[in-house]
Amino acid sequence: MEDGDLKGFIVKKLFHHNYVGGKHTSIDNLKKGLPTHIKGDVISAVKLLIKEQIILSKPTSYGVQVSLNPRKKQEIEVYFFIGSNTPQLCCDMIFPDEV
């Protein structure tokens, strides 16, 4: 799996489960559903997404939690076009224009 595809998988998974803004999940949960030989690349892809500010990190006492950055709607929508000609989901339902 290429780096862009893996980042797209992570963004789509966070979006599908509505992990936006204050609602967050563990990085370990992002590995679920991937083949074992790819699971090791998830942490590096998450670090790249945090550096790009696509996802937000929240340090907690029980580990680092992540969620989508609601202020980066335009950049997040790009990941829905990776690997397909049409978007799979509508971002307008979760990301209102008032943000």
Enumerate domains of the chain plus CATH numbers.
Answer: 3-93 (1.10.10.10)
Long-range Cβ pairs for the range 31-38 (8 Å, 24+): 34/1, 34/9, 38/1, 38/6
- Is residue 66 within 8 Å of residue 15, measured between CB atoms? no
Report the pLDDT averaged over residues 20-48: 91
pLDDT confidence of residue 29:
93
The rounded distance, in Å, linking the Cα atoms of 61 and 5 is 31
What is the side-by-side strand order in the sheet with 25-26?
A: 25-26, 63-68, 55-60
Checking if the pLDDT of 85 tops 60, the result is: no
- Is residue 94 within 8 Å of residue 18, measured between CB atoms? yes
Give the tokens for residue 21.
């803004």
Report the pLDDT averaged over residues 43-72: 94
pTM over 0.85? The answer is no
pLDDT confidence of residue 97:
53
